[in-house]
Amino acid sequence: GRTVAVFTSGGDSQGMNSAVRSVVRMGIYLGCRVYFINEGYQGMVDGGEHIAEATWNSVSDIIQKGGTIIGSARCADFREREGRKKAAYNLISRGITNLVCIGGDGSLTGANTFRKDWPGLLEELIKDGTISQELADQHPNIQIVGLVGSIDNDFCGTDMTIGTDTALQRIIEAVDAVVSTAQSHQRAFVVEVMGRHCGYLALVAALASEADFCFIPEWPPPSNWRDILCQKLSVMRGEGQRLNIIIVAEGAIDRDGTAISADMSPFWVTCKEGGHPSAFDRILGCRMGAEAVLALMEMTPESEPCVISIDGNSMVRVPLMQCVERTQAVQKAMNEKDWETAVRLRGRS
């Protein structure tokens, strides 16, 4: 059997534990040795007890937990070649050359860089006398499969990312909680949700909570939006509506680039999107984790990294760098206020 390691990196999201559990159990089922790398790339660079063998039972009782039990981190060392060299040593000395990386576009970019560097890193390790030529020859490259954990659903190439559905649940709960108060007192509530470049959470939450208005980064209103909004609200009040819900993505701006949030402080509610993973995110993590191991089993040192994505209701493998590049192109277009390009790139094609 092969040796597989799984790690979580970047911001945590709900359902990552389910994915970790699934990687471990599918790996063991197929006769692999499976390792956890704790604390993301930092654990890979530091080695030692951060890299520990997983057992069937070590992933019991985690599927219902939020966040990630194997820890996540942001790691400056891994951005440097020296850090990646230490990581390469820590993996090859344990015979690990199959990686499941669960994280956002940054983490997946790092994984791709690592794979490109691998042969050169081994040459340096041989030159330093740290590893033997024979060991290097056994592991000419690493195989990488990425799973996307992100609550924003901001990654191109998958219909849903692990954690998005749970975030939506939390938003809906928060909206439902303020609705009764709002109705009693004839109020408008503004609910801010996450999404710096991506309005998915705000838009879908607005549909699911019967919101009256929704502000998303991809569709900035004209700068006199306050007047339009107030006028519409007063018409609604005149017609007897007692409650208004306004949902704002944190990155929403007007056409002049001013943050929408800057002007809407009264009745402001900011959502916390964590907590227990939803059934959907548990199943998504479970399916993606299993597919990740199956994909690794078919890969050779020549295979390009892939991401497991959900397309309709199917698990599919898509080239990792293609997805990352498109995701970054969307972010660039958003930064340049080229909303049309961003939306076009994000769509299926």
- At residue 137, what are phi and psi to the nearest 5 degrees? -65, -30
CB 83 within 8 A of CB 70: no
Residue type, 236: M
260 binds ligand ATP, rule: CB under 6 A: no
237 binds ligand ATP, rule: CB under 6 A: no
CB 127 within 8 A of CB 88: no
The residues, any chain, with a CB within 8 Å of residue 130's CB and separated by 6 or more, are 89
**Which of residues 35 and 78 has its CB atom nearest to ligand ATP in the complex?**
78
Catalytic residue among 152, 154, 254, 281: 152
78 binds ligand ATP, rule: CB under 6 A: yes
15 binds ligand ATP, rule: CB under 6 A: no
DSSP 8-state code for residue 212: S
**311 assigned to active site:** no
State the Cα–Cα distance between residues 145 and 293, nearest whole angstrom.
8
The residues, any chain, with a CB within 8 Å of residue 316's CB and separated by 6 or more, are 308, 309, 310
For the annotated binding site for Mg(2+), the residues are 105
305 binds ligand ATP, rule: CB under 6 A: no
Closest CB 143 distance from ligand ATP, rounded Å: 18
Residue type, 296: L
Give the residue closest to ligand ATP by C-beta.
Answer: 106
Binding segment (CB under 6 A) for ligand ATP, from list 28-36, 71-79, 173-181, 196-204: 71-79
Q: Is 235 exposed, middle or buried (0-12, 13-18, 19+ CB in 10 A)?
A: exposed
Binding segment (CB under 6 A) for ligand ATP, from list 6-14, 165-173, 191-199, 307-315: 6-14
Task: Pick from 150, 153, 158, 278 the residue near ligand ATP by CB under 6 A.
Answer: 150
Closest CB 173 distance from ligand ATP, rounded Å: 23
Side-chain-side CA neighbours of residue 163 (13 Å): 28
Site for ligand ATP in 82-121 (CB under 6 A): 103-107, 109-110, 113
Task: Pick from 9, 22, 90, 261 the residue near ligand ATP by CB under 6 A.
Answer: 9
The residues, any chain, with a CB within 8 Å of residue 346's CB and separated by 6 or more, are 156, 198, 330
The neighbour count for residue 81, using CB atoms within 10 Å, is 12
Q: Provide the residue count of the chain.
A: 349
The token pair that represents 228 in the structure block: 């339009």
41 binds ligand ATP, rule: CB under 6 A: yes
Closest CB 296 distance from ligand ATP, rounded Å: 20
**Which of residues 27 and 83 has its CB atom nearest to ligand ATP in the complex?**
83
CB 252 within 8 A of CB 215: yes
Sites of contact with ligand ATP (CB under 6 A): 9-11, 41, 74-75, 78-79, 103-107, 109-110, 113, 150
Task: Enumerate the active-site residues.
Answer: 152
